[in-house]
């Protein structure tokens, strides 16, 4: 089968469908095979020379991993992409790829809890100093740079609080000193925010969430700018990271429909946020796409859409026992961690006490919802059950 050359300029939804696919390499089949492998054979010793053959050992990649990496390169506008065993593994590998002993590392106070744990426990053992900064600093982060500041970690919107960060301003400040900028972009996905185009060097995805989209795999992805790629390839190869081909295949399958899923997640989430905001027991919606969110202006400026994860704070008079009763009364929303799948989820959240850089946070009870692909009316009815359990 001969190769059809795709047109160069493609819109994001078209990239999702076509990128990383080479039917001509696989007898015309639409999808690549799931390559289960360790050994790759060489026809003769000459082919064992470095670079003489495309593949030489499965840990270093195979046609299944290549397909996902190539698709993500196109979507992220990256110089290269490497896969990780989980989102957290993508975070740790990205950090290690650009940090060394003696470095200072600025980390947003709003980062995902396990990212913080990695920064607090592993990095100090290698002589790396971690400093948390207020996520709303923007370009004022400049004042925190030291001569040995090697990298800045960002996440927007941040985990649990959903605070937005001014990524272009932070990237511009980092550029003045040459520090690398890392971003956990799991919430928006590279469909709704393009980290590399906004100055980020290492764009991280917990592919577990929207790329996979079906709550059946954990996987991570790291997309690199040209200057960050050599360090990433070196570290990734040295650490021996390899992802099972069935999991890579499921991520690739999920990616093909991510656009329409996100559209629906966003639409339903906005409807539910509108409904919740009217309720007298709700003090605040935490969702940058929501018109009254403090991060709304930055979100509207830099992002082209919103996903289905958001939070809300109960009014201070709602007790912990009532917040639990609310959650226990839900029948469609499952109680569980992770998110980005087709099914709605809820978790209780206590915001106070999780930060150290002076970010003001309420003392009361909060909830994080993952809005799935169910009918919005059914989800609203379910949330009404929650309110009924605490006296409406």
Ligand X SMILES: *Cc1c(COP(=O)(O)O)cnc(C)c1O
Shortest Å distance, C-beta 115 to ligand X:
6
Shortest Å distance, C-beta 91 to ligand X:
6
Shortest Å distance, C-beta 219 to ligand X:
7
Nearest CA-CA partner of 94 in 197, 241, 216, 260 = 241
Of residues 201-230, those binding ligand X (CB under 6 A): 206, 208, 218, 220
3-state class (DSSP) for residue 98: helix
Catalytic residues: 59, 112, 184, 209
In this structure, are strands 309-314 and 334-335 parallel, antiparallel, or unpaired? unpaired
Shorter beta-carbon distance to ligand X: residue 209 or 281: 209
Say whether residue 267 binds ligand X (CB under 6 A).
no
Q: Pick from 184, 201, 313, 365: which binds ligand X (CB under 6 A)?
A: 184
- Round to whole Å and give the CA distance between 370 and 189: 15
Site track for ligand X across 89-108, x = CB under 6 A: --x-----------------
Query: What residues contact residue 156 under an 8 Å CB cut-off, 6+ apart?
Result: 135, 163, 164, 165, 167, 183, 185, 187, 188, 193, 295, 298
Shortest Å distance, C-beta 245 to ligand X:
18
Q: Pick from 112, 180, 192, 303: which binds ligand X (CB under 6 A)?
A: 112
Shorter beta-carbon distance to ligand X: residue 112 or 318: 112
3-state class (DSSP) for residue 15: helix
How many H helices and E strands in the chain? Answer: 12, 12
Query: How many of the chain's residues bind ligand X (CB under 6 A)?
Result: 14
Query: What residues contact residue 52 under an 8 Å CB cut-off, 6+ apart?
Result: 46
Nearest CA-CA partner of 141 in 129, 124, 153 = 153
Say whether residue 186 binds ligand X (CB under 6 A).
yes
Q: Is 139 exposed, middle or buried (0-12, 13-18, 19+ CB in 10 A)?
A: middle
Shortest Å distance, C-beta 294 to ligand X:
19
Strand partners, 360: none
Shortest Å distance, C-beta 205 to ligand X:
8
Shorter beta-carbon distance to ligand X: residue 74 or 88: 88
Q: Supply 316's token pair.
A: 């201070």
109 and 132 in contact (C-beta within 8 Å)? Answer: yes
Of residues 63-92, those binding ligand X (CB under 6 A): 86-88, 91
Shorter beta-carbon distance to ligand X: residue 66 or 184: 184
- Round to whole Å and give the CA distance between 10 and 147: 42
Neighbours of 254 (CB within 10 A): 23
Shortest Å distance, C-beta 112 to ligand X:
4
Shorter beta-carbon distance to ligand X: residue 91 or 181: 91
How far is residue 334 from each of residues 75, 327, 369, 382, measured CA to CA in Å? 31, 9, 10, 11
Shortest Å distance, C-beta 113 to ligand X:
9
- Round to whole Å and give the CA distance between 273 and 133: 29
Of residues 331-390, those binding ligand X (CB under 6 A): 338
Say whether residue 159 binds ligand X (CB under 6 A).
yes
Shorter beta-carbon distance to ligand X: residue 56 or 92: 92
Shorter beta-carbon distance to ligand X: residue 56 or 311: 311
Site track for ligand X across 31-70, x = CB under 6 A: ----------------------------------------
290 and 310 in contact (C-beta within 8 Å)? Answer: yes
Cis peptide before 335 (omega within 30 of 0): no
Shorter beta-carbon distance to ligand X: residue 149 or 307: 307
User: Which residues would be at the binding site for ligand X (CB under 6 A)?
Assistant: 86-88, 91, 112, 155, 159, 184, 186, 206, 208, 218, 220, 338
């Amino acid at each position: 089968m001969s190769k059809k050359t795709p047109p160069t300029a493609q819109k994001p939804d078209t990239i999702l469908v076509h990128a990383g696919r080479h039917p001509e390499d696989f007898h015309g089949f639409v999808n690549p095979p799931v390559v289960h492998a360790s050994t790759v054979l060489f026809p003769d010793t000459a082919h064992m020379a470095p670079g003489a053959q495309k593949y030489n050992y499965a840990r270093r990649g195979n046609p299944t991993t290549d397909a996902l990496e190539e698709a993500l390169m196109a979507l992220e506008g990256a110089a290269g992409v490497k896969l990780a065993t989980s989102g957290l593994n993508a975070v740790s590998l990205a950090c290690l790829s650009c940090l060394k002993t003696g470095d200072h590392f600025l980390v947003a106070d709003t980062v995902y809890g396990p990212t913080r744990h990695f920064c607090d426990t592993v990095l100090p053992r290698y002589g790396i100093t971690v400093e948390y900064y207020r996520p709303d600093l923007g370009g004022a982060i400049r004042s925190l740079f030291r001569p040995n500041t090697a990298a800045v970690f960002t996440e927007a919107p941040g985990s649990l609080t959903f605070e937005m960060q001014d990524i272009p301003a932070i990237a511009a400040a980092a550029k003045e000193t040459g520090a690398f900028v890392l971003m956990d972009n799991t919430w928006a996905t590279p469909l709704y925010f393009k980290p590399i185009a906004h100055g980020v060097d290492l764009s991280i995805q917990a592919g577990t969430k929207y790329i996979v989209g079906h709550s059946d795999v954990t996987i991570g992805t790291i997309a690199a700018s040209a200057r960050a790629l050599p360090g990433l390839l070196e570290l990734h190869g040295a650490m021996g990271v390899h992802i099972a081909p069935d999991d890579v295949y499921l991520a690739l399958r999920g990616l093909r429909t991510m656009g329409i899923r996100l559209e629906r997640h966003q639409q339903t989430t906005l409807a539910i946020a509108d409904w919740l905001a009217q309720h007298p027991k709700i003090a605040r919606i935490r969702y940058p796409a929501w018109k009254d969110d403090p991060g709304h202006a930055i979100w509207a400026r830099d992002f082209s859409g919103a996903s289905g994860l958001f939070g809300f704070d109960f009014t201070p008079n709602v007790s912990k026992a009532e917040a639990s009763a609310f959650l226990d009364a839900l029948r469609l929303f499952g109680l569980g961690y992770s998110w980005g799948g087709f099914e709605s989820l809820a978790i209780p959240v206590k915001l106070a006490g999780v930060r150290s850089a002076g970010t003001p946070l309420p003392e009361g009870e909060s909830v994080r919802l993952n809005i799935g692909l169910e009918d919005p009316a059914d989800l609203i009815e379910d949330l009404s059950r929650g309110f009924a359990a605490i006296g409406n």
